[in-house]
């Protein structure tokens, strides 16, 4: 994959790449001017307000993934909405001014068919509902890009609706656990500098039910899902080229998050994550030095030529998980389909790997499922 700066991209993609910040999880390949970055102020999160959009921050996303089951068939799904603030248009009065850019990615992993289906969209938002093709409410989670949407209802359920070229889904996601505040009560560090941080919460173990349509055939599905919501103004470490991240729903109700940022040599620049037991009120938050990723089996994409570790060993402090375990314990993360690479160059300008994966304990027993994300393998992160 050539360096993105050498690509002859349309003007819209070049503008997009200049305006979007490379933040966690899903935009590491994008660029932003250092001069445009502000300092995020640490504060206590307030709900339901912080479930909504934060248009004064540079970048934000809502990210939903999960496993779907329809009789004997199994699928994975992803729906991500990104919001990016456009500094140059904030003082424009036109109803057509692109004050925010809204992007959306959606995908379905068909394990039986051994294939990944995905689609993407982009639109501008001026804050004028009568003319906007996209909008993100500040009051609560309600984000829309044409006929794709993610909405939180008054009863707490989330509704995810997508109609793409090769697939569609209409899913109801019901919380079974409280919000999981990542990092320090929702303040999540992404590097050694204080400005390298975001506001970040998760909602794991969502109970899922709805419809999935493939090739014109609709089937009822059920399963478990995971929601992340994150926003920030900050840049990542200047040596970062990408990251590796997991969000895993364990079969016993626990939730595991782990991530690391990599440099060009593949070494870890920063790491973090959390563990929350099924009956626990608060998560155990891992320090940067506590989380260790070790790559296993490699898959090379025939489309991009990028090589991705589709199996990982993740080493964590055992006492945080089970006081009866030794000092450290390890988990294995294994992709359930190697070919889960997404090409989003027509929207965010990047290629990345995002897919349904299985979590096993140190004895090799499967104990959960969730999503693995890997960025910066097709091309490294370049900060201007």
Q: Report the candidate in 256, 264, 210, 214 with the shortest Cα–Cα distance to residue 360.
A: 256
The 3-state DSSP class for residue 50 equals helix
* Burial class of residue 15 (count of CB atoms within 10 Å of its CB; 0-12, 13-18, 19+): middle
Whole-angstrom distance, CA of residue 78 vs CA of residue 227: 10
**Between the CA of residue 310 and those of 37, 52, 339, what are the distances in Å?**
33, 34, 9
Label the pairing between strands 292-295 and 311-317.
Answer: antiparallel
**CB–CB of 162/145 below 8 Å?**
no
Whole-angstrom distance, CA of residue 223 vs CA of residue 75: 9
Over the range 317-353, which residues count as b (16 or more CB within 10 Å of their CB) and which as e?
bbebbeeeeeeebebbbebbbbbbbbebbebbbbbbb
Q: Scanning the structure block, which residue is given the tokens 């003319």? A: 131
Q: Report the candidate in 131, 207, 222, 120 with the shortest Cα–Cα distance to residue 167.
A: 120
**CB–CB of 339/301 below 8 Å?**
yes
Q: Scanning the structure block, which residue is given the tokens 């294994």? A: 334
pTM, two decimals, is: 0.88
Q: Which domains does the chain have, with CATH numbers?
A: 4-16+46-374 (2.40.370.10)
Work out the angle at residue 255's Cα, subtended by the Cα atoms of residues 251 and 258, and round it to the nearest 5 degrees: 125
Whole-angstrom distance, CA of residue 11 vs CA of residue 117: 27
Q: Report the candidate in 196, 117, 198, 131 with the shortest Cα–Cα distance to residue 162.
A: 117
The H helix count followed by the E strand count for the chain is: 1, 25
Chunk the chain into consecutive blocks of 10 residues (it has 384) and report each block's average pLDDT, rounded to whole numbers: 32 37 34 48 95 92 97 96 78 64 94 96 74 87 96 97 97 97 95 89 98 96 98 82 95 97 94 91 92 98 96 92 80 98 76 96 96 91 42
* Alpha carbon 293 to its chain's center: 18
Whole-angstrom distance, CA of residue 88 vs CA of residue 77: 35
Strand partners, 244: 260, 374
In this prediction, residue 2 carries a pLDDT of 30
What the block records as the tokens of 19 is 């305006």
In this prediction, residue 122 carries a pLDDT of 87
Dihedral of alpha carbons 306, 359, 28, 151, sign: positive
Kindly give, in sequence order, each residue whose CB lies less than 8 Å from that of residue 304, ignoring residues fewer than 6 positions away: 1, 341, 343, 351, 378
Half-sphere exposure of residue 379: CA atoms within 13 angstroms, side-chain side: 20
């Amino acid at each position: 994959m050539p360096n993105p700066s050498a690509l002859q991209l349309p003007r819209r993609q070049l503008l997009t790449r200049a305006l979007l910040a490379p933040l966690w999880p899903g935009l590491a390949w994008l660029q932003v001017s250092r001069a445009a970055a502000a300092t995020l102020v640490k504060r206590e999160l307030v709900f339901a307000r912080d479930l909504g959009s934060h248009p004064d921050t540079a970048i934000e996303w809502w990210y939903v993934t999960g496993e779907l089951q329809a009789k004997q068939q199994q699928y994975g799904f992803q729906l991500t909405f990104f919001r990016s603030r456009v500094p140059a248009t904030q003082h424009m009065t036109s109803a057509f001014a692109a004050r925010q850019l809204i992007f959306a990615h959606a995908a379905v992993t068909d394990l039986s068919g051994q294939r990944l289906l995905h689609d993407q969209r982009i639109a501008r938002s001026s804050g004028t509902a009568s003319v906007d093709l996209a909008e993100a409410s500040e009051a609560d989670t309600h984000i829309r890009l044409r006929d794709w949407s993610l909405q939180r209802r008054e009863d707490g359920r989330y509704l995810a609706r997508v109609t793409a070229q090769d697939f569609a889904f209409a899913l109801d996601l019901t919380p079974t656990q409280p919000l999981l505040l990542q990092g320090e009560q929702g303040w999540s560090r992404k590097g050694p500098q204080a400005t390298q941080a975001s506001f970040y919460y998760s909602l794991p173990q969502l109970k899922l039910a709805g419809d999935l349509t493939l090739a014109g055939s609709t089937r009822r599905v059920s399963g478990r899902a995971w929601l992340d919501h994150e926003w920030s103004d900050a840049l990542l470490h200047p040596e970062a080229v990408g990251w590796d991240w997991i969000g895993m729903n364990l079969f016993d109700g626990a939730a595991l998050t782990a991530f690391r940022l990599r440099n060009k040599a593949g070494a870890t620049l920063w790491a973090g994550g959390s563990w929350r037991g099924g009956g626990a009120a608060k998560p155990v938050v891992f320090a940067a030095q506590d989380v260790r990723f070790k790559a296993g089996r490699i898959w090379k994409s025939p489309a991009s030529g990028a090589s991705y570790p589709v199996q990982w060993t993740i080493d964590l402090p055992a006492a945080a998980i089970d006081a009866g375990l030794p000092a450290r314990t390890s988990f294995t993360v294994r992709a359930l389909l190697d070919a889960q690479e997404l090409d989003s160059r027509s929207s965010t300008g990047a290629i990345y790997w995002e897919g349904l994966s299985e979590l096993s304990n140190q004895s090799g027993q499967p104990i959960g499922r969730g999503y693995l994300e890997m960025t910066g393998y097709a091309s490294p992160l370049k900060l201007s």
